[in-house]
Amino acid sequence: MRRLASQLWLQVLLATALGVLLGILWPSAGARMKPLGDAFIALIRMIVAPVIFCTVVHGIAGMRDMRRVGRVAVKSLVYFELITTAALIVALVAVNLSRPGAGMNVAAHAIDTRAIGAYTSQARETGVAQFLLDIIPTTFVGAFARPEVLPTLLVSILFAVAVSAMGARGQVVTDFVGVLSEVFFRIVGFIMWVAPIGAFGAMAFTVGRFGAGSLLSLAKLLLEFYLVSLGFVAVVFGAIAYWAGVSLLRLLAYISDEIVIVAATTSTETVLPRLMEKLRALGCEESVVGLVVPAGYSFNLDGTCLYLSTAVVFLAQATNTHLGIGQQLAVIAVLLLTSKGAAGVAGAAFVVLAATLGSLGTVPVASIALILGIHRLMAEALTFVNLVGNSLATIVVARWENAVDYPLLYGQVGRAGAKGPRRRPRTSAAGD
């Protein structure tokens, strides 16, 4: 019993239930719990950049083969684009078939837009050039002060390549960064002690702010989105996991702590450092984990793609805005770009939704006020899909690169009868 009580997922689950209870019984008190959730997210955000830097630098500098770094990056991006495109198409087909917004007949001019001002003010049209420019930080150190993952990843890769080019002299730096990474992962462990408090505060605020009735509002849209998200995980991720020799259920059990934390905070950023550590412990090579996971947090947001496709078409249906086949294909094209700006930060998907509608110019941007009240409830599903998607992507790319300890991987999450290739798996430094 004591061992069960020490499990993080159970502590977070109980704290989440208490948060829901407080929000229902004392809404005003629940709404005042928001700083607890915000503080936990801030603590995690504080440690994300140094964890990414140390993991990427130690992994890549230890590889000593820059061609392999480029190969891993290309394979990752190809995989990301294929899966996110599939997510956009699946969501588009599902929302057109179920038509949850049909019959609402909402007039855009009658919508109260005051509540969405904070989101629309952050939204702006995103072009390819601007997206690429935003990856480059103003200064090297400035990359660590920004909430986005990609600037940190850029300076980490540049630093790692430079260290690798120094040869034997760079080994001192590599060793130091390796020790430093252990320090930061210990800090992550300390922060996770307060995860139940953060989950309690986040859930109490959600229910207290929007009321218990928020759990039932726009039920058809919520039901459709949850079913699509679960179906995507079961069918698409299930098929990919089967190909990779992994049991999807065992993988979900392996990251159960992270799933509960993400559900409570509606932010995948809160588990990024811990997820990287767990995937390394699963047998995936450090260099692959260091590249795939941070990049996936910007390029492999499958749940966010499901959400954006569903929300755009739902709002078009609700406001009686006709979207033909050609226009819906344009939606996919726009979302393939704008979805890359929705990092694992809570609320980012809503900002990107506003930017997407502004880019399309067909569905009224003001209509996003219709789903403001249930955005956090939809975020429960989209962050879950994002988390599972990036975990599986790392395993797939590692397997693709033969950069995985197969006995360790299959011993923990392998499906029955799965076997790795006969080739000897690579190692971080000696194998290259």
Per-residue pLDDT tens over the stretch 246-293 = 999 999 999 998 998 888 777 787 788 889 889 999 999 988 898 888
Q: What percent of the chain has pLDDT over 70?
A: 77
pLDDT band for position 424 (50/70/90)? very low
Q: How many residues does the chain have?
A: 432
pLDDT band for position 112 (50/70/90)? very low
Contacts of 65 (CB under 8 A, 6+ apart): 432
d(Cα 169, Cα 272) in Å, to the nearest integer? 31
Q: Ramachandran region of residue 354, left (φ > 0), alpha (ψ -120 to 50) or beta?
A: alpha
Is position 180 within any domain? yes
d(Cα 103, Cα 171) in Å, to the nearest integer? 65
Amino acid letter for position 337: L
Contact predicate 236/393, CB 8 Å: no
d(Cα 144, Cα 160) in Å, to the nearest integer? 16
Q: State the angle between helix axes of 34-63 and 171-192 in degrees (0 to 180), rounded to the nearest 10.
A: 160
Domain extent, residue 309, equals 2-413
Half-sphere exposure of 394 (CA within 13 A, CB side): 31
Is position 99 within any domain? yes
Is position 111 within any domain? yes
Is position 184 within any domain? yes
Is position 421 within any domain? no
Is position 431 within any domain? no
Rg (CA), the chain: 22
**Which residue, among 185, 180, 354, has the nearest Cα to 272 in the 3D structure?**
185
Is position 420 within any domain? no
Question: The whole model's pTM is what?
Answer: 0.71
CB-based contacts of 255-260 (< 8 A; 24+ apart in sequence) = 255/387, 255/388, 255/391, 256/9, 257/7, 257/8, 257/9, 257/12, 258/387, 259/9, 259/384, 259/387, 259/388, 260/8, 260/9, 260/12, 260/13, 260/16, 260/199
pLDDT band for position 395 (50/70/90)? very high
Q: What percent of the chain has pLDDT over 90?
A: 18
Work out the mean pLDDT of the chain and round it to a whole number: 78
Q: Ramachandran region of residue 315, left (φ > 0), alpha (ψ -120 to 50) or beta?
A: alpha
Give 10 or 324, the one with higher predicted confidence.
324
Is position 243 within any domain? yes
- The number of folded domains in the chain is 1
The CATH number for 289's domain is: 1.10.3860.10
